[in-house]
Structure 1
Amino acid sequence: MDKGNYKSLKIVRTSSGSNVFNLIINRPSHVNALSADFFIEFPQALSFLDQNPDVAVVILSGAGRHFCSGIDIQVLNSNFADRPLSDRGRVGEKLRRDIKFLQDAITAIERCRKPVIVGVHGACVGGAVDIITACDVRYCSKDAYFSVKEVDLAITADLGTLQRLPGIVGYGKAMELALTGRQFSGSEAKEMGLVSKVFDTKEAMEEGIKAIAEGIAAKSPLAVTGTKAVMLKSRDMSVEQGLDYVATWNSGVLLSDDLKEAVMAHLQKRKPSFAKL
């Protein structure tokens, strides 16, 4: 699937010749609710961007007035409709596979070698929090608001928030947000470390993220993708295991043309130029 054939998404290159691409959740008339199409198309789009050598950094955002209002109620209904109650075991097994399928679509963010930066404006609710906690860097505008909403829908959040949010904001804070389902602001999200910066407006956020992404895109792609991979792997390792992993990683890629180019550019006081990945 190429970058132009999606029902729920849109891929746009930030500018001609740029190695930064925008991945946009594109259902503004439905407050960007996550449809069944989204869960099929999102991992396909991320795979396309991951494999495209012209892509160095991905910016994730939402079209219209809000980032994302969470999972479309139609998707939730489909998980419970037409399920015969005569065999509880088979019903449960099928539901488990359905949940794993939805989880896999969100985890595709982490599988993408390229950094995924998310910009949040307006609503970021329920499944949208699952998405942003899987992203590598998070920013928002002043009008953004967040909620781990699933508990209010009689659901235990199951697409990644309960696993990823504690590592970002701390266990106690994540527990409080998940149990209450309360709404919190962009400034509180910044205070707890969920986002790195709050911009005054959506437009200022878009410009700011673009500048940050272009800066990352100018760096060695081997170093950038390696940093993401090692950070993610080390998250679930002891310090000793993480150090061993990065030593093994660098033994395979450190002695690269990128290292030579970075050293020469520094000595010659010029900007380095790296080959695509």
Structure 2
Amino acid sequence: MSFDPKNYAKYEFFTISALSEGVAHVQYTNPKTLNAYTNQNWRDYGEIMTRLDKEEDISVIVISSGVARAFSSGLNIKEGAMTMKFDGATEKERLAKFEEFIVEFQNACTVPARISTPTVGILNGINYGLAIDLASAYSIRIGVEGARFSIAEVNIGIAADMGSLQRMPGIVNNKSKLFQHALLGDVFDAKEALEMGYLSTVVDSVDKGLELAGAWGARMAQAPQWAIKGTKKHIQDILSGKSTDEGLADIAKYNAENIMRVMKL
């Protein structure tokens, strides 16, 4: 069955469309909260990404914001973990339940890194807290002029726990800057994010970002999908901790199987 955006109509605040042939576009638009995420929102996000990865005619997923002022202002604290109710559970049971909640949240944020479909994020306006967690799992990040970034969790008294601290060390080229921004919870701009290697490029507007992502996506869609998805997977494997030797062994098996299949050897 071919990709049909209508199948994704149930997700509140998310609009799913085709940016170009083979390129899905996920847009999150919740201006009232500057694109903060409730528990339902991040669960929907993880489910959408998982479903799109299974669409046979989707080669690339582009993620953007429909809010001019923000990609995301982070987690909606009023409806997040702080509102959990434990209903008389013991301390051990409360701890286990809270840890289970955090792991579920992490798994939703991790979906773009885990799936085989490449992802491109267009990061505009405010990118605080959870926004960095989400974007750090993307294959490619495009910044928009005026974008502001913050690993902001220390400002509310917690350590970032949704992936920023685990993924950014493998992404950025300036570890001192990473420590600085993570420990201070301060704000840095798109130019600095580009210099750190967090962004691929910076464009003038979200529309320009969509144009660029669409062009890149169209090129990827024209290539054999086993090659594109295999390339994404094997880079991600190294970022996720596999050794060079393990990566070489995996790609040898992967290419041998696929080349033989394609060439009917």
Same fold, judged at TM 0.5 (above): yes
- AA partner of residue 247 (structure 1): A
Q: What is aligned with 1:48?
A: 51
Moved over 6 A (4+): none
What CA distance in whole angstroms lies between the structure 2 residues aligned with 1:121 and 1:44?
A: 23
Name which of structure 1's ranges 45-54 and 233-242 shifts more when overlaid on structure 2: 233-242
What CA distance in whole angstroms lies between the structure 2 residues aligned with 1:74 and 1:182?
A: 22
- The equivalent position to 2:168 in structure 1, one of 165, 168, 181, is 165
Q: What is aligned with 1:88?
A: 91
- AA partner of residue 243 (structure 1): L
What CA distance in whole angstroms lies between the structure 2 residues aligned with 1:6 and 1:192?
A: 34
Measure how far apart 1:237 and its partner are.
2.0
Q: Secondary structure at the match of 1:104?
A: helix
- The equivalent position to 2:223 in structure 1, one of 209, 219, 222, is 219
Gaps in structure 2 of 5+ consecutive residues: 1-5
- The equivalent position to 1:192 in structure 2, one of 196, 206, 211, is 196
Does the aligned pair in 2 maintain the 1:8–1:41 contact within 8 Å? no
- The equivalent position to 1:130 in structure 2, one of 114, 130, 133, is 133
Does the aligned pair in 2 maintain the 1:8–1:35 contact within 8 Å? no
Q: Secondary structure at the match of 2:85?
A: coil
What CA distance in whole angstroms lies between the structure 2 residues aligned with 1:155 and 1:224?
A: 38
Does the aligned pair in 2 maintain the 1:79–1:95 contact within 8 Å? no
Measure how far apart 1:251 and its partner are.
2.0
Please give the TM-score of this superposition, normalised by the length of structure 2.
0.91
Q: What is aligned with 1:265?
A: none
Q: What is aligned with 1:6?
A: 11
Measure how far apart 1:203 and its partner are.
2.2
Structure 1 position 178 matched with structure 2 position 182: yes
Q: What is aligned with 2:72?
A: 68
Measure how far apart 1:48 and its partner are.
1.7
- AA partner of residue 228 (structure 2): V
Structure 1 position 148 matched with structure 2 position 151: yes
What CA distance in whole angstroms lies between the structure 2 residues aligned with 1:213 and 1:132?
A: 17
Q: What is aligned with 1:19?
A: 22
Measure how far apart 1:72 and its partner are.
0.7
Q: Secondary structure at the match of 1:71?
A: coil
- AA partner of residue 105 (structure 2): L
Gaps in structure 1 of 5+ consecutive residues: 261-277
Please give the TM-score of this superposition, normalised by the length of structure 1.
0.87
Q: Secondary structure at the match of 1:59?
A: strand
- The equivalent position to 1:244 in structure 2, one of 227, 246, 249, is 249
What CA distance in whole angstroms lies between the structure 2 residues aligned with 1:245 and 1:105?
A: 26
Does the aligned pair in 2 maintain the 1:141–1:202 contact within 8 Å? yes
Measure how far apart 1:95 and its partner are.
0.5
What CA distance in whole angstroms lies between the structure 2 residues aligned with 1:137 and 1:108?
A: 14
Q: Secondary structure at the match of 1:48?
A: helix
Measure how far apart 1:144 and its partner are.
0.8
Q: What is aligned with 2:3?
A: none
What CA distance in whole angstroms lies between the structure 1 residues aligned with 2:65 and 2:201?
A: 18
CA RMSD of aligned residues (A): 1.8
Measure how far apart 1:74 and its partner are.
2.2
What CA distance in whole angstroms lies between the structure 2 residues aligned with 1:113 and 1:237?
A: 16
Q: Secondary structure at the match of 1:11?
A: strand
- C-alpha change, 1:208 and 1:86, in structure 2 (3 Å) is closer
Q: Secondary structure at the match of 1:254?
A: helix
Measure how far apart 1:81 and its partner are.
4.2
Name which of structure 1's ranges 101-110 and 171-180 shifts more when overlaid on structure 2: 171-180
Measure how far apart 1:30 and its partner are.
1.7
Measure how far apart 1:86 and its partner are.
6.8
What CA distance in whole angstroms lies between the structure 2 residues aligned with 1:38 and 1:243?
A: 38
Name which of structure 1's ranges 110-119 and 166-175 shifts more when overlaid on structure 2: 166-175
Does the aligned pair in 2 maintain the 1:19–1:57 contact within 8 Å? yes
Name which of structure 1's ranges 182-191 and 166-175 shifts more when overlaid on structure 2: 166-175
Measure how far apart 1:176 and its partner are.
1.5
Residues matched between the structures, number: 256
In the TM superposition, what whole-angstrom CA distance separates every residue of 1:126-179 from its partner, at most 9, and x where no partner exists? 000000100000001111110000000111100000000111114333222110
Measure how far apart 1:14 and its partner are.
1.4
Measure how far apart 1:252 and its partner are.
1.9
